[in-house]
């Protein structure tokens, strides 16, 4: 499991969200639902910036210290690109139950579905 990592190159992402469909349908029987995906793409349509974010650990409460990040010269609230399954956000929690979702580097041996489906080179696998 720890033999590979996923590399995200947001500059190549087209905001297509194909990864979201792939991850969700891989984890649920016969269902496609971005809301159940462990990868979500933050899309800023005003600036056409697309940031794929892969779900990390569950946190019980939102951060007390908030900050902004500057990416490609544009400023964003860090919560937009954070990977935590956090109670203040809609992402990375099952919509009905609130159960946290976390990337499990799926496939056996790991063959992440999101990477497999991404046709634009934004997601790739790095062997370590």
Which residues contact ligand SF4 by CB under 6 A? Answer: 13-19, 22-23, 26, 38-39, 41, 50, 52, 54, 103-106, 112-114, 117-118, 120, 122-123
Q: How is residue 12 annotated by DSSP?
A: G
By the rule CB under 8 A, 32 interacts with another protein: yes
The least CB distance from residue 105 to ligand SF4, in Å, is: 5
Token reading at 39? 């990868």
Cβ at position 65, least distance to ligand SF4 in Å? 27
As a whole number of angstroms, the distance between CA 29 and CA 124 comes to: 25
68-71 and 74-77 strand pairing: antiparallel
- What is the distance between the alpha carbons of residues 91 and 87, in angstroms, rounded to a whole number? 9
Contact 52, 10 (CB under 8 A): yes
Q: Which of 4, 6, 35, 71 binds another protein (CB under 8 A)?
A: 35
Q: Among the candidate windows 53-61, 63-71, 83-91, 97-105, which touches another protein by CB under 8 A?
A: 83-91
| Token code pair at residue 40 | 């979500």
DSSP β-bridge partners for residue 40: 53
Residue 28 or 88 having the CB closest to ligand SF4: 28
List interacting residues with another protein (CB under 8 A). Answer: 14-18, 21-22, 24-25, 28-36, 42, 45-46, 48, 50, 79-80, 88-91, 95, 117, 119-120
């Amino acid at each position: 499991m720890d033999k590979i990592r996923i590399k995200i190159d947001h500059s190549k992402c087209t905001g297509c969200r194909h990864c979201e469909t792939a991850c969700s349908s891989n984890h649920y029987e016969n269902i496609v639902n971005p809301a159940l995906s462990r990868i979500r793409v933050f899309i800023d349509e005003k600036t056409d910036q697309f940031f794929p974010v892969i779900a990390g650990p569950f946190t019980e409460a939102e951060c007390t210290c908030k900050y902004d990040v500057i990416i490609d010269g544009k400023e964003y609230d860090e919560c937009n690109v954070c990977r935590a399954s956090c109670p203040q956000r809609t992402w990375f929690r099952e919509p009905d139950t609130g159960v946290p979702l976390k990337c499990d580097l799926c496939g056996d041996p790991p063959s992440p579905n999101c990477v497999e489906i991404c046709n634009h080179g934004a997601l790739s696998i790095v062997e370590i």
